[in-house]
Structures are given as C-alpha cells and as structure tokens.
Structure 1
C-alpha cells in the first residue's frame, strides 16, 4: 500500500495483480513469459527475466515451494542445456541454457542473441544463490542445484580462452544485457558473472562434500567430475580479465567502449525515441546508448562486493548513456538510485517501471504487457525504498521514503513467517505473524521481533 500518491499506488497494484494471475507456482513444468497471457509476442516462452526479476518477488511473497519450482524448471531442462551447448561445439557436460524456451530447447533465431547473450547462464546460477540465501533451503543444492552449477561452470571454463597478450582469460564475441551492443569482447558483466559462477560452483562442491557426502558421491559420479577439472576452472576464474579505465576509475562495459562518441542520452532528439524504432542497427551499434542496466546489473546483483563510492562512480558514468528502452531497465536503476540516497531519481524510475504499461512509455503496449518487468516494480519498493537485503543471514532493511508519499507498507514471507513493514516519514514499524522470534537488521542495528508483536524504529 502507498499512501498519498494515487499514480504510484495504482501502478504497483496493477503490477502485482498481473503477477499473481500469471503464475501460481504449483507446477514445475510451467514458467513465466515476458507477456504472460496478455499478448502473443514471445509466444509464452521463458527468458532469463524469470531468474533475474521474477524469483525475488515470488520468493518473498509466496510459499518457498513456488520459487523452488521455478528453479526446478531449469533443473529439469539441464540435459537440454547440455545438448544445446553440444550443438555449439562444447563438450563434457557443459551446459548453455537457451535464451528463449518452452521445453528446454532454444527457440530464438537471432545469432547475436542465441549464441552470444550467454550471460543468461549466470542469472540461472545466481537465482539458486539468491533462493538459498533467502529461504535457507540449502537442501536444494545437493538435491538438484549442484548439477546445474557444475554444467554452467563447465560452460564458462570452455567459453573463455587465454590471451597471451593480456596474460588473462578473455570471453570474446558476446552480447551483454545491453542488447544495443552485439558481438563485443569482454563484456564486463559477462566476465564477472562467469568468474562468480565458477567460484560459487566450487564453493558448493566443497560444502556438499563436507555436509552431504552421499549426494556428493552421486553428483560427482553422474557428472564425471574430477579434481583436475575443478583445478582448470580455478585457473580461469583466478585469471579472468576485466576491462577497466584508470582515468574514469570504472569498469568498462566492454573492450573499446571509450572509442565511442560519448554523447549523453538527454541530448537525443525526443522525436528519435525509442531509438530502436527510428535508427538503423548500424547506427545503434556504433552509439554509446545502453538499452538497460549492463555493468550496473552486476553492481545490483553483487553490491556487497563493491563500495558505495564505486557504485556511485559507475552509476554516474553509465546512467547518462542509458535510454531505458527495455522494460527491465528502470527498476534496477531505481534500486541503485535509492541505495545512493537519490530518492527523487529513484522515485522517477519507480513511476516509469510501475506505469510502463498503464502510460505506454515505449509505445508497444498493444503487443502485450511487460509481465516479467512488473516484478521489478515490487523490487523498486521493497529492495529500493525499503532497502531489503539478506546480510549475514539476517533480513535487513534501510527504509527511505519519497517526499510524494505519506507512507507505504508491504509484507514479506520470510522463512514461513509473515513480516509486515510500515514505513512513515518519522519511523518504520515491523509486526510479525509466526511462531518464532525474528531478529532483523534496521540500518545496521539488530532488533528482535516476537510473534504477534510489533516494534517501531
């Protein structure tokens, strides 16, 4: 609930309604199409949107089995992902999940997306991490998740190659989250999430070996995984190359990004927007314009690995070139702007993501609603203004409030207990429906909430 801002309230309610009617989570054979049931574009297929944007919503608002079924959907398609990688020349159980699918097979027909937008593998691994971190359902990893992580790590190991010139491993010929760049070398986000996937897989192999010996033996035998192969993975992760500019002190979106004519998006003629409806692809690919969060997607996923100053520097460098012509763009920028205490900017992005379809920002609502990005609207409130994170195993909040709102509230299903959060101008209240005490962090300080009680901070 948002008090005092009808447009903002209408936006989030409209979005949550469509999310709830699109996916119930009762059947692991089903997933979430970008248009849901509102239009035929994309044919009801599944994209990486599910793992990056939808799972946080369903994980925190429904029973944990709902999000688990979304993970199981990918586990059930693991063999298809291995076959997909084999078609591209990979071997030994390396898995490349499809960009677009209905049954595990690749349904996309544009080579620069199908073959090159390989960061999607990273989102699938990150979703496992995100789910386990939030629910504490570690059992999913020895049961199913570890096999997926191994297949993905094998893919990254084989996809990278050693550059003698750079004395590091590089990943060539890719498309990052910013689809206004194709066939680039060393997309920072892709390289970073590749390194992270390998290390996360190795960490979990060790944990399963220690704590789930029977599952470890089964998975290692099934995957035919040796310690020698794991050592090869470590080599790639430890020597991964990341493009960086010392002058701007930022990681570069990809090799050669600074060769572009760096004209801010605000200088574009409004009659030319969205550029994908007015410009040739030749012109788009030569421009510096960013369709959606790319480098900043990495700062969103892995914010705990970067300082406030690093986030600020990268946000200030990349956001001015971002045209937000993907429905998935405003929510990430809203969350990061809130993190940087730029509440008015976060609010502007929130309105855009929440009212994208209601106000037809991109002039394409006739093709259907943007269902998967609607989860980003919820994220903008809960993770953005509410500042919800998992920190050291605790549910953590850093509440902020736009000046246009009198207050707002939301509920979280956290490990089978319902926590209600009410944010006002002068305080934040928490109440708990459950059977166990819950310790949370609010602005870094611990607070204990008892069942059927409330506290104000």
Structure 2
C-alpha cells in the first residue's frame, strides 16, 4: 500500500506552493452515505457531491454529481443530485458519446503534427488536452496556474491565464475563451474595490492573484504592484474579438471592462517633459520590483488605452442606444476618451541611446549584471536562495519581461532592435519561471536564432513530461503548456494576434521535415501545413477567408487550398 502524498502546503518552504489555510479548509455542512456538502468559511463557496445508484442486470450502476457556488446547502445538493440522476438515467454510453463529440470538435481544430518529431508532437497534444480540460466553462471560473492537477498556487488565477492561455483557446475553443472572459467581467466590482484599496479614486484594478476577484497576494512588491494584469485582460479581450468577430461581447461586457480598467493608468501615472510615466510598478519579471517606467507595463498600457478607445467607438457604432446608456452609467465623456488617446501616444518607453538598447525599466541598465552563467546550479531558482532585495539590486530577470513585450507588443519595433533586446537580456534571465521559455522561443525564431528557438521550444513543451523544473508534483504548469502551442504557431509559423486578419510568416527549422496545425478564425477552420520549403493553407470549412502570407494576401473559399514558397 502506498503512503498518501503530502499536501502541497507542507512539502517545502517554496512560496509558489501555498500556505496552510487558516480556516483549515472546508467545513462539513451535510454528510450521509450518499451526499456531502462542504463550505469554505472564508469565501463562503460550497461544494456538494451526491451519489445515485441503481441495479441493472445484476450490476450496480453508480453516478456522482458535483455542484459548487454560494447557494444554500440544500440547493447545491439538489443541483448535484439532479446531475447524478441525469447521468444515471442516460447511462455510460450517452456520456461517452457526448464526450467523444466534444473532443472530436476540439481536435478538428487543435490536432497538430511535427514531422520527424513524434514525441514533441504527442507532448503538445497532451499539453492542449490539459488546457482544454482545465479551463472554466460556466462564466464563473477560469483556468488556474496548475489547472486541475495539483495544489500549487492553491488554485489561484493569475495574469498568465489571459496572456498565455486565452490566446490559444480563442482560436481552438472560442466558446471556452468567452466564458473565461465573462468570469472576469463578473469580478469587475472586486476590481473596483481593489483599486480603492490601493488609493486610486478612479478605475478598476484586477487582482494579480485571485479566485473570486479579491486580491490574494500577501507580497505587495512582486504581487499587488503588477498592474499589468489589467493590460493582460485587455489583450485577451482584443485577441478574442479579433479571432471570433464577437462584437456582441464588447457590447455586453468588453467595452465596460476596457474603459474601467484603462482608467487606472491615468490614475497611476503622471506627466513630465511631455511624456506620461508609470511609476512604482512591477512587471512580469519578479526579480525587479517597484520600478518606474517598466517597458512591458508601459507598452501594454499603451495598447490597452488605444483598445479602449477603439472598443468605445465600435460599440457606439454597433448599438448607439446601448452605448449611450453605458457611457452615462460610467460617466464617460468624449473628452476622457480623447485623454486616453493622448496618454497612449505619450507613454514613455525607456531607451538607452548610448547602448542603442531598449531598457527594461528606467533604472535597470544602470544596475550591476548578475553572473547567471557563474551561479552554481544548486542556487537556482534564485528566489529560494537569495533575499528579494538582493535580486532587486541587480540586472537579473526571473522570466521574460521586455522580451514578452516584444512578442505581445512589438509590432512597431524593428527586427534589429528586437535582436539586440534578445541578445542582451537572454544571458541575464534565469528562466526560473516556466512562463519564460515559450516567449524566448518565439522571439528567438523571429530574430533568426534558430538553435535557441528550438532549445526554448523543447523547454516549454517538455516542462512537465520531463519535470524540468523539479516541481511538477505540485501540478502542471498551465501557461507553459499553452506556451508550447504559442511557440509553434506564433514562433515557427509567425502568427501574431495583431488585428482581425489571420497572417503568417512561416519558417521551418532545418532539423524538421515540416509541421502542421489547425485553428478557427472567425468561423473558418484553417489548416496550415509546412513541408520542406513550401506551405499550404486550407480552408476546411466555414466562410471565405483572407489569409496573409508574409506581405501578400490569399483568398480561400471553403474547401480550397493554396500552396506556395515558405519564404516571402
């Protein structure tokens, strides 16, 4: 008999795992042989599990239903019992058929191959299955950092849900992506409260770490100061609407979310020398905290402000009456939208002219470099061996920061500048966060560093299959798993979510024979197949579509395909 595994909260002092709950977890409200209802005293969330049985041809058939929410115990138990009863009456075959239909629909878009690399391809498919299975579908939940697989991070949602997972789901399972954004819409009141707790008199600030919407981070410098959570959610809204054309989401939820969260940038920043500055923030790199003008935060805030203006204009054009009510409710005047646009144009993106290099923040390049290459392997991750204040005083990154900015917001940056960014920041990045590798894989491919692109692609793809960070026992790394797909499609295939047109700049690593993948774009199922020095685009089903191939455009009718040279 195997001994039970220790809970994630007691396995080590690693702050990424979790802490012992002061409430000691769930308190039992009801319990019997076939029913249990428990509730968390802090949040008030209850969970019911109800079992139903019946005999059939000498067999005992068993079904269990689950329900969760803030409802009374009796309501939760009734809901769970109804689910169990339905499952029992319909039988196993019906459940299996429904699941097969659901998965067939997903894999019609998501299936992929990498010719000559069967293990990598199989791993990416497993990664996508984790993403599909773990994402919330009810509009009241999202995707936790560890999915459904472990106690790491205590089931909390972070900004990487929107920056890494939602862009994948938007083109592979858009109905799930929408439900996850509806969840964020439902926590907007908590975002208002969070902003007021940080002394902002206007705007909404989504929690960096949360389940119900309240901020659950206890470490302000590396947690609550990550204002970029707002821009990640804005980015996900834009990516979802671009991929699906679902402007109804903007009318129902998106415009309000974008405007209210964009207001936080004006509340946070200040003007100096004709430029707008964001001070005292933490970017994605948690080894640098409470800095001024973090490049990533400023660039993503710039995109966020412009998206809020665009969304307001679109909703006003789609449904003028609805926009009139919404603008009045938000007390939003045209002058404020104009201020959004003016601020976006003036946001400061720090650049060191002497080094001819974009700076991660206003002070980063003035600090001494950490000798990452000379640090013993036993001292990684640095967060477990050095005080944060020591790390904050050096040029050292836990994960992609300005590199991520070049991927998510680098459409106006030249390839030469991006290459200089990659070459400077990669040697001082420890990749202690599993979020890092996929981003470096994408940018490495874009700037022509094929060997590094392949190395980082393998790192993000195999992070859990090979337990490369030694902590998969705490749960899989959901953003890294999503990142493996991004590294393939955004990296080697050259896709970027920058607007309503589907566009690729595909490449093929010399060691690969080819690769293929699918996605859904505005109702059209598209397959992309790279073989040798050629690429084929197929419109499998759905309406006509225009696909950008480098700087040219290809129009495909349903069932049609186009084959041409891989390079421009």
- TM-score, normalisation: structure 1: 0.93
Change (3 A) 1:231 1:403: closer
Alignment of 1:332-371 (within 5 A): 332-371=439-478
Instruction: Output the CA distance in 1 between the equivalents of 2:161 and 2:357.
Output: 29
Q: Which residue of 2 aligns with 1:76?
A: 186
Describe the superposition over 1:281-315 as per-residue Cα deviations: whole angstroms up to 9, x where unpaired. Answer: 23322221111111122111122221222212222
Alignment partner of 2:256: what SS? helix
Q: Which residue of 2 aligns with 1:246?
A: 353
Instruction: Output the CA distance in 2 between the equivalents of 1:426 and 1:409.
Output: 13
- The answer (yes or no) to whether the contact 1:143–1:215 under 8 Å persists in 2 is no
Change (3 A) 1:161 1:219: same
Q: Which residue of 1 aligns with 2:434?
A: 327
Q: Which residue of 2 aligns with 1:65?
A: 175
- 1:16 is aligned, of 112, 128, 131, to 128
Alignment partner of 2:314: what SS? helix
Alignment of 1:409-448 (within 5 A): 409-448=516-555
Query: Which of 338-347 and 348-357 deviates more?
Result: 338-347
Query: Which of 119-128 and 404-413 deviates more?
Result: 404-413
Describe the superposition over 1:396-454 as per-residue Cα deviations: whole angstroms up to 9, x where unpaired. Answer: 12222223322211111122221112211232222222143322122322223332233
State the Cα distance separating 1:231 from its structure 2 match: 4.5
* 2:148 aligned with 1:41: no
Instruction: Output the CA distance in 1 between the equivalents of 2:351 and 2:309.
Output: 26
Query: Which of 386-395 and 398-407 deviates more?
Result: 386-395
- The answer (yes or no) to whether the contact 2:217–2:224 under 8 Å persists in 1 is no
- Alpha-carbon RMSD across the aligned residues, in angstroms, is 2.0
Q: Which residue of 2 aligns with 1:97?
A: 206
Instruction: Output the CA distance in 2 between the equivalents of 1:118 and 1:171.
Output: 10
Change (3 A) 1:121 1:355: same
Change (3 A) 1:287 1:103: same
Alignment partner of 1:447: what SS? strand
- 2:420 is aligned, of 313, 326, 329, to 313
Describe the superposition over 1:193-249 as per-residue Cα deviations: whole angstroms up to 9, x where unpaired. Answer: 223322321233233334431121011111112234445444543433332210122
Q: Which residue of 2 aligns with 1:88?
A: 198
Instruction: Output the CA distance in 2 between the equivalents of 1:41 and 1:392.
Output: 35
Instruction: Output the CA distance in 2 between the equivalents of 1:319 and 1:157.
Output: 32
State the Cα distance separating 1:169 from its structure 2 match: 2.9
* 2:229 aligned with 1:120: yes
Unaligned runs of at least 5 residues, structure 2 = 1-112
- TM-score, normalisation: structure 2: 0.76
Unaligned runs of at least 5 residues, structure 1 = none
Instruction: Output the CA distance in 2 between the equivalents of 1:232 and 1:327.
Output: 37
Q: Which residue of 1 aligns with 2:23?
A: none
Query: Which of 96-105 and 438-447 deviates more?
Result: 438-447
The higher-RCO structure (CA 8 Å, 6+ apart) is 1
Instruction: Output the CA distance in 2 between the equivalents of 1:39 and 1:248.
Output: 44
Q: Which residue of 2 aligns with 1:160?
A: 269
Instruction: Output the CA distance in 2 between the equivalents of 1:132 and 1:258.
Output: 37
Instruction: Output the CA distance in 2 between the equivalents of 1:350 and 1:238.
Output: 35
* 2:370 aligned with 1:258: no
- The answer (yes or no) to whether the contact 2:547–2:553 under 8 Å persists in 1 is yes
State the Cα distance separating 1:391 from its structure 2 match: 6.1
Alignment partner of 1:381: what SS? helix
* 2:257 aligned with 1:145: no
Instruction: Output the CA distance in 2 between the equivalents of 1:388 and 1:365.
Output: 30
Alignment partner of 1:139: what SS? helix
State the Cα distance separating 1:276 from its structure 2 match: 2.1
Q: Which residue of 1 aligns with 2:80?
A: none
Instruction: Output the CA distance in 1 between the equivalents of 2:551 and 2:275.
Output: 38
Change (3 A) 1:129 1:392: closer
- The answer (yes or no) to whether the contact 2:299–2:409 under 8 Å persists in 1 is no
Change (3 A) 1:359 1:277: farther
Query: Which of 40-49 and 210-219 deviates more?
Result: 210-219
- The answer (yes or no) to whether the contact 1:99–1:113 under 8 Å persists in 2 is no
Change (3 A) 1:83 1:263: closer
State the Cα distance separating 1:9 from its structure 2 match: 2.4
* 2:322 aligned with 1:215: yes
- 2:308 is aligned, of 193, 201, 207, to 201
- The answer (yes or no) to whether the contact 2:438–2:456 under 8 Å persists in 1 is yes
Change (3 A) 1:225 1:419: same
State the Cα distance separating 1:74 from its structure 2 match: 1.0
Change (3 A) 1:308 1:439: same
Instruction: Output the CA distance in 2 between the equivalents of 1:220 and 1:82.
Output: 17
- The answer (yes or no) to whether the contact 1:160–1:236 under 8 Å persists in 2 is no
Alignment partner of 1:8: what SS? helix
Alignment partner of 2:538: what SS? strand
Larger Rg: 2
Change (3 A) 1:240 1:448: closer
Change (3 A) 1:131 1:8: same
